[in-house]
Amino acid sequence: MTLSRLSIQHLRNLESVDLRPSPRINLLYGENGSGKTSVLEAIHALAMGRSFRSHKHKPLIQHEREGFTVFARVVSDEREIPLGLYRSRAGEASFKADGQVVSSVAALASLLPIQVINSQTFLLLEGSPKIRRQFMDWLVFHVEPDFFPTWKASQRCLKHRNSLLRRDRIEPSELAVWDRELASLAERMHQYRSASIERFETVFLELLDSFIRIPGVSLSYQRGWDKTRTYSEVLEGGFERDRQMGYTHSGSHRADLRLTVHGTAAADVLSRGQQKLVVCALKIAQGYIFSQLTGRQCVYLVDDLPAELDSDHRAKLVEWLDRLNTQVFITGVEKEPLLADWRSRPQVHSQVFHVEHGGVTPVS
């Protein structure tokens, strides 16, 4: 899975950009504010319908323009598929793949799987459970076709149940139909997640151990309710608390992925450098498992790599990315630190781009 062409119009300070990226490594350098990150945002918007920096689309639109456009040609299984995105200031959104309208962001995401490594990636250790759930569900979504419909049905059911709980008076019998459906959906989601994490944990720990020795590292999946009881029993036993709070306290919507060192949260005991390498290993392991299970590759977007990792840890990440044999877009302020990481790998096909005042120029 690679981008053979990328065209961007009127996104942030990118007036009109047309790139022919390398199928492997693409290095973009330039001053802060030049538009480097905007190129990565454009790719993310094409794959997910939004930027990785914000859910709002209006800040992406260039001043005094009505909307922005991103177009790409995606090579998959030796076939080239055109993808297009248009977002207007008025809220109009148009997604197309191979000339056909794409009806949902989920369908779009399945066409162009991407992984982002940036400053926000480190929230996987110290951020909220929601961030880790989204990380966990990325892999489940891409390898288990029935997961997304199950997740959508679960969200709908949970919404109805919570709406009933917020009524002044509610009896357990009034929740029975929703409880039965929610319990069935939650158990299925747990099965999908636990199977995925079991495979992921082995790869992640082996990958991490090959580059940095951190004794006592453990990854554990928590399903979101008492593991000694069925979810039906949890819903029944927690009715009074749920009624008082006005929402469903336990369930698959509370699932989490915990990384610990000798039983203590990794964020509390690892140095900043170790944390950075660990979260990078989490991202690389996802791409590796995805490739193993699907035979496809995801595209990596790595924003401001030199600023996030020192030279030793950066070299380790570069080695991981090289092993994945996938397409990567990496940004940095200075050209030399970016090039230095890849000079020892002359066999890797790379393309360098200079980004300046919203223009992107290939560099020999």
Judging by DSSP bridges, how do beta strands 67-76 and 299-302 pair with one another? unpaired
Long-range Cβ contacts of 200-206 (<8 Å, 24+ apart): 200/139, 200/285, 200/286, 200/289, 203/285, 203/288, 203/289, 203/292, 204/281, 204/282, 204/285
For residue 47, which phi and psi values (nearest 5 degrees)? -90, -30
Residue 301 belongs to some domain of the structure:
no
CATH number for the domain spanning 344: value is 3.40.50.300
Whether 300 is in a domain gets the answer: no
Per-position b or e across 90-116, b if 16+ CB within 10 A of its CB: eeeeebebeeeebeeeeebbbbbbbbb
Looking at the fold, whether 195 and 167 belong to one and the same domain comes out as yes
278 and 322, same structural domain? no
234 and 270 assigned to the same domain: yes
Tell me whether residue 69 is in a domain: yes
Q: What is the DSSP string of 37-87?
A: HHHHHHHHHHHHSS-SS-S-SGGGBPTT-SEEEEEEEEEETTEEEEEEEEE
Per the CB < 8 A criterion, the answer to whether 219 and 258 are in contact is yes
pTM of the model: 0.91
- Number of C-beta neighbours around residue 13 at 10 A: 15
**Separation of alpha carbons 198 and 216, rounded Å:** 18
How many H helices and E strands in the chain? 13, 15
Residue 108 falls inside a structural domain = yes
Residue entry with tokens 């509610």: 170
Last residue of a domain, one of 295, 325, 350: 295
> Do 163 and 85 fall within a single domain?
no
State the total domains in the chain: 2
Of the three residues 249, 270, 295, the one that is the final residue of a domain is 295
Tell me whether residue 364 is in a domain.
yes
Distance of alpha carbon 231 from alpha carbon 293, whole angstroms: 29
Q: Is residue 55 part of a domain?
A: yes
pLDDT digits (tens, 9 = 90+) for 119-164: 888 889 989 999 999 999 999 999 999 999 999 999 999 999 999 9
- The half-sphere exposure of 201 on its side-chain side, counting CA atoms within 13 A, is 15
Are both 159 and 244 inside the same structural domain? yes
280 contacts 315 by C-beta, under 8 angstroms = no
How many residues are listed for the chain in this entry?
364
Work out the number of other CB atoms within 10 angstroms of the CB of residue 5.
15
Residues of the chain with pLDDT under 70: 306, 308
Give the DSSP per-residue string, 133-149: HHHHHHHHHHH-TTHHH
The enclosing domain of 290 has a CATH number of 1.20.1050.90
| Alpha-carbon gap, residue 325 to 322, rounded angstroms | 6
Same domain? For 171 and 251 the reply is yes
Do 66 and 195 lie in one domain? The reply is: no
Give me the sign of the Cα torsion angle 304, 307, 309, 311.
Answer: positive
129 shares its domain with 84: no
Q: Which one of 237, 269, 295 terminates a domain?
A: 295
Do 206 and 134 fall within a single domain?
yes
Q: Do 94 and 140 reside in the same domain of the chain?
A: no
- Answer yes or no: is 58 within a domain: yes
**133 domain residue, yes or no:** yes
pLDDT for the residue 26: 94
Q: Could you tell me the CA-to-CA distances from 58 to 67, 93, 121, 334 in Å, in that order?
A: 8, 12, 24, 30
Residue 78: give the domain boundaries: 1-113+308-364
pLDDT at 313: 77
Shared-domain flag, residues 290 and 312: no
Contact 124, 131 (CB under 8 A): yes
**Whether residues 145 and 268 fall in one domain:** yes
